[in-house]
A and B are shown apart, each in its own frame.
Chain A
Amino acid sequence: MAVLLSSRKTTKRFGGLVAVDELDVEIKEKSIHSIIGPNGAGKTTFFNCVTGFYRPEEGEILLNSHSLVGLMPDQIVRLGIARTYQNIRLFPILTAMENVLVGLHCHLRANYFGILANLPSTRKEEKMAAEEASRLLKFVNMAGKGDLFAKNLPYGEQRRLEIARALATRPKLLLLDEPTAGMNPSETQTMMDFIRHLRDELGITILLIEHQMRVVMGISETVTVLDYGKKIAEGTPEEIKKNPLVIEAYLGKGSVAEAQGAAA
């Protein structure tokens, strides 16, 4: 399979702290790829580098061999990368519908004077946008909730609305930052099914930050493990589970032997 996103020796520093250290990752088209690692390993920083919030000091991030470094977040989302946030960041006093419509922003063409003149093309576009937004709301199982404020939605729906908003930008690559955080086991299971469904039905490549091992091992095809900004392992979930470096990073030195003993 072709490579959709590749990071080559990406490095991001904050003062003396190296948050992402010469990271090499390749994300294959239409795969579900997870990034895991202990707290502070640089996972979200890497997301921020990909989406243009941070500019990496060194290295390159390529989407279909088109460099993303130095582009603004709004340019990157137009190239087909959308994201959600670890702590949900919806537009709180906009309705669910408006939130999704904002996601459609970059696919609408209406300009200032077109809007003022209420041109037929603008009206047609608005109508189509509204239809697409309600279709997306229905897709995340929120039909009929379009008029509610984002901030007044229950937690699970806020998560789904954030994904709907990201989908509205019609991404090729969707970055999900801990999509199952704070969910109970049954909610987690449906979220996992939903993520798989996104890939299978819409053909969207998924890059995932996740802490729940059940999710990581359940749905990802490739797992990359970060620790102190460095990639310490990469492979299929089965390979990762057995990797002594990973066990050490998560549980500390000395636990490797124990874990292996337990496995045996």
Chain B
Amino acid sequence: MTRVLTLWKHGVKTGLLGGLITVLLSLMGMVEAFSQRQIVSDILSMDQSLLGGAVVFMAYFAAKRTTSSHPLWVVINSLTCGFVTAGMLMLLLLIGHVINLRSVFVNASPVLYQLLSFGHGFETALLLFVAAPLCGLFAGILYLLPSAFRKTLIVSLACIVGAGVLQDLLRPTLAAWESLAGLAEWIFSSNGLTEKGAAVLFIPIASITLFWSLKGETVQAGFKTLPSKGQKAIRWAGIAVLIMILLVLPQVLGLFLSEVMTIVGLYVLLGLGLNIVLGYAGLFDLGYVAFFAIGAYVTGVLTSPELGFFNLTFWQALPFAVVMGILAGVLLGIPVLKMRGDYLAIATLGFGEIIRILVLSDFLRPWLGGAQGIGKIPKASIAGFEFGMPQEIYYLILAGCALVIFVSLRLRDSRLGRAWKAVREDEDVAQAMGINLVATKLLAFGTGAGFSALSGAIFATKLTSVYPHSMNVMISINVVCIIIVGGMGSIPGVIVGAIALVGLPELLREFAEYRLFVYGLALVVMMLVRPEGLWPEAVRRREFHEEQFTEENDAPAPAAAASR
């Protein structure tokens, strides 16, 4: 009996937790807000996929934590988890029926109850006890499947949900191409994917993922057996294709998506710059926005006819902006050279605020514009071509990103990159190995600040104006989050992180209320499930997932001299 209870425990526990989560999502108003959108027309709406997804997630955990490896117990636990979750939701419905919860929970509306009870009050609410355990069962089966199939299912379902969520963007983008307009009509209905569309999306995605997870290693091994010239050629071809895609992308995507891409691009630029400071050298700089502000304001002051000091062009002002950024980075670096970790974070945080308050101050108003900021900053132009529209500014940002990627790659595997990494790992020992801490740290601060200033300068010409309030601490925090979620020290990680944390919220503006909630959730889940980041450096991935080296060949005698 007790054995049964211990085996059952996790199902009940995670079920209660899952219940809490689903109730929370409901009372926060997310369920109601999401109910307007259909993922698959008339079959699956976004709120259902949100709640269902939460149940599947929790039930998967229940299955994973089952102490018995017997498949029956795994399924029982995940089913139980679903059942308990349904019970909690039912409880919410009952309480909501008896007491008016709205005085405390504004979102506990009749619409919410209707959604939770599948439309028709308590008779259909019992369907919860079918739907949630079904989600649980699905999670249990998912857990028991071989990993290749599990990956396939998760990826293809995620793709379908993604396509459904982003339908408003994908449909017009597809429809803009005459030859694809028919396809767009066929895949998307007026709200959500069509059933056929969903199936059509599912099959190719699933087969590609399945092929890759089953045969990926063979393909990679095959690639490795190629002569190194062949490998190089294929790699360069891949990079060339990627560059071509990046170059034509804004023409294909249209105005809105290009605008989103410029915002993501600016954050990529910021992120890659901070990546040198934080990811490589391990210096926790929370005042990174200061250099962004300096870049933007130097550009503004030097170019804006509104102030009328210099009236330089953007290109003439850019070097000054970047150099000022680097100087500021070095100057800030000097007083904090001796600080480590949290102390450094607090000191730099203060520096960021100082810059923001300075540009906001009335004292500097004649030079920096005070709260009104600086307007009429000219657009950048080359030989008559003006970078005005988002599609055009995109290229400016792309060039900036290419530059910072180039610099990062070159520095990473060099003498300096190693010195940075050594400082990150152990400052004292790094110094004892002959690394000049002052020079090394200041180079990191300066390089990072330079890219931040570059980003700021482009930001100024993009908006043609700069305001103090766009230089707030949230930018620094966003950039740090991007690096952490993407993967410390990883260049593709920063790009993926920026897309996930900046791009997606821009695309889902209508759910902007929940942006910070999702941010926090993403950080917590990432730290628990994938602490190394979405796309970590190869080396860092090993750190978290290859502990087996330690067990291997323990201590053969330190015979060195003898063998020589």
Whether A160 lies near B416 (C-beta < 8 A) is no
Q: Mark A108-125, 1 if CB is under 8 A from B, else 0.
A: 101010011010001001
Residues of chain A contacted by B435 (CB below 8 angstroms): 74, 102, 105-106
Binary per-residue interface labels of chain A (181-199) against chain B in the complex, 1 for a CB within 8 Å, 0 otherwise: 0010011001101101110
Is A74 a contact of B436 with CB atoms below 8 Å? Answer: yes
A149 to B544, CA, bound (A): 11
Asked whether A152 and B549 contact (CB < 8 A) given A93-B540, A160-B558, A196-B561, the answer is yes
Contacts of B539 in A (CB 8 A): 93, 95, 149
Residue A154 CB within 8 A of the other chain: yes
- Inter-chain CA distance A98–B424, complex, in Å, is 13
Does B103 touch A at the CB level, under 8 Å?
Answer: no
Q: Does A92 contact B (CB under 8 A)?
A: yes
Report how far A77 CA is from B549 CA in the complex, Å: 32
Interchain CB contact under 8 A, A156 and B557: yes
Residue B1 lies at the interface, judged by CB distance under 8 Å to chain A: no
Shortest CB–CB separation between residue B562 and chain A, in angstroms?
Answer: 6
Docked pose: A91 CA to B423 CA in angstroms: 9
Closest to A116 in B: B410
- The CA of A115 and the CA of B417, in the complex, are separated in Å by 10
A94/B425 in contact, CB under 8 A: yes
B252 in contact (CB, < 8 A): no
Beyond A102-B422, A191-B558, A194-B558, whether A169 also contacts B433 by CB under 8 A is yes
- The smallest beta-carbon distance between B466 and chain A, in angstroms, is 29
Report Cα–Cα, A74/B428, bound state, in Å.
10
Which residues from chain B contact A62 at a C-beta distance below 8 Å?
none
Give bound CA distance, A105 to B429, whole Å: 12
Contact A53 B434 (CB under 8 A): no
| B338 close to chain A: CB less than 8 A | no
CB contacts (< 8 Å) of B433 on chain A: these are 74, 77, 102-103, 105-106, 165, 169
**Segment 442-466 of B: residues with Cβ below 8 Å from A:** 443
Q: In the docked arrangement, what's the CA distance between A122 and B418, Å?
A: 14
Known: A92-B425, A106-B433. A101 touches B557 (CB 8 A): no
Q: How far is the CA of A193 from the CA of B559 in the complex (A)?
A: 8
Quick one: CB contact mask for A122-146 with B, threshold 8 Å, 1 for yes?
1001100100000000011100000
User: Is B521 at the interface (CB under 8 A from chain A)?
Assistant: no
Q: Are A105 and B419 in contact (CB under 8 A)?
A: yes
Return the CB mask of B522-558 against A: 1 if under 8 Å, else 0. Answer: 0000000000000000011011001101101111111
- Verify A115–B416 contact, CB threshold 8 A: yes
B residues within 8 A CB of A148? 549
CB atoms of A102 and B557 under 8 A apart: no
**Are the CB atoms of A197 and B429 closer together than 8 Å?**
no
Q: Is the CB of A190 within 8 A of B411?
A: no
Name the interface size band of chain B: 35 or more
Instruction: Decide yes or no whether B431 CB sits under 8 A from chain A.
Output: yes
The residue of chain A having its C-beta at the shortest distance from the C-beta of B422 within the complex is: A102
Of chain B, the residue at the smallest CB distance from A168 is B433
Contact of A152 among B410, B443, B550 (CB under 8 A): B550
Q: Return the contact of A85 from the options B429, B559, B561 (Cβ within 8 A).
A: B429
Q: Mark A27-60, 1 if CB is under 8 A from B, else 0.
A: 0000000000000000000000001010000000
B509 contacts partner chain A, Cβ-Cβ < 8 Å: no
Closest to B547 in A: A152
- How many whole Å from A252's CB to the nearest CB in chain B? 34
Write the nearest CB–CB distance from B533 to chain A, whole angstroms: 14
Closest Cβ–Cβ distance, residue A60 to chain B (whole Å): 21
Chain A minimum-CB-distance residue to B412: A115
Q: A78, A92, A98: which contacts B418 (Cβ < 8 A)?
A: A98
Smallest CB separation, A155 vs chain B (Å): 6
Closest-by-CB residue of B relative to A142 is B560
B507 CB–A CB distance under 8 Å: no
Instruction: Give A90 to B429 CA distance when docked, in angstroms.
Output: 8
Most chain A beta carbons < 10 A, residue from B415, B428, B554, B558: B558
Given contacts A92-B425, A141-B560, contact A116 B411 (CB under 8 A): yes
Q: In the complex, what distance in Å separates the CA atom of A108 from the CA atom of B416?
A: 10
- Contact partner of A186 (CB less than 8 A), chosen from B422, B426, B552, B557, is B557
Interface membership of A231, Cβ < 8 A = no
A94 and B422 in contact, given A110-B415, A116-B407, A149-B543 (Cβ under 8 angstroms): yes
- B430 within 8 A of partner (CB): yes
Q: How far in angstroms is the closest Cβ of chain A from B491?
A: 16
Cα of A101 to Cα of B415 in the assembled complex, Å: 8
Shortest CB–CB separation between residue A147 and chain B, in angstroms? 9
Find chain B residues with CB under 8 A from A94 CB.
418, 421-422, 425
Q: Check B550–A105 contact: CB distance below 8 A.
A: no
Min CB distance, A204 to chain B, in Å?
Answer: 13
Which residues of B are found within 8 Å of A91, using beta-carbon distances? 421-422, 425-426, 429-430
B563 at the interface (CB under 8 A from A): yes
Give chain B nearest CB distance to A197 CB in angstroms: 3
Is A66 positioned at the interface, with any CB of B under 8 Å from its CB?
no
B432 within 8 A of A: yes
CB-contact partner of B432 in A74, A149, A155, under 8 A: A74
B537 to A: closest C-beta gap in Å? 10
Q: Give the chain B neighbours of A51 by CB distance below 8 A.
A: 432
A152 and B431 CA atoms in complex are apart in Å by: 23
A12 at the interface (CB under 8 A from B): no
Q: Is the CB of B558 within 8 A of A112?
A: no
A159 interfacial contact with B, CB 8 Å: yes
Residues in B neighbouring A244, C-beta threshold 8 A: none
> CA separation between A187 and B559, bound complex, in Å?
8
A72 at the interface (CB under 8 A from B): yes
Report yes or no: B432 in contact with A73, Cβ–Cβ below 8 A. Answer: yes
The reply to whether the CB of B225 lies closer than 8 angstroms to some CB of chain A is: no
Report whether A105 and B415 are in contact in the complex, using a CB–CB cutoff of 8 Å: yes
> Roughly how many angstroms separate A169 CA and B428 CA in the complex, as a whole number?
16
B437 interfacial by beta-carbon distance below 8 Å: yes
B410 touches A105 (CB 8 A): no
| Distance to closest chain A CB from B323 (angstroms) | 15
Q: Provide 28 A-B residue pairs closer than 8 Å at the C-beta atoms, listed in order of the A residue.
A: A72-B436, A74-B432, A85-B429, A89-B429, A91-B421, A91-B425, A91-B430, A92-B425, A102-B422, A102-B433, A105-B415, A105-B433, A108-B415, A112-B416, A115-B410, A115-B414, A140-B558, A141-B563, A149-B549, A152-B550, A153-B549, A155-B554, A156-B556, A190-B557, A190-B561, A194-B560, A196-B561, A198-B561
Pairs A-B, 9 closest by C-beta atoms: A106-B434, A197-B561, A152-B549, A91-B425, A156-B555, A141-B560, A115-B414, A77-B434, A194-B561
Given contacts A126-B415, A154-B554, A194-B562, 13 further A-B contacts (CB under 8 A): A77-B433, A89-B426, A89-B429, A91-B422, A98-B418, A116-B411, A126-B414, A149-B549, A154-B550, A156-B558, A157-B558, A190-B561, A191-B558
Binding site for B on A (CB under 8 A): 51, 53, 72-74, 77-78, 82-83, 85, 89-95, 98, 101-103, 105-106, 108, 110, 112, 115-116, 118, 122, 125-126, 129, 139-141, 148-149, 152-157, 159-160, 165, 169, 183, 186-187, 190-191, 193-194, 196-198, 201
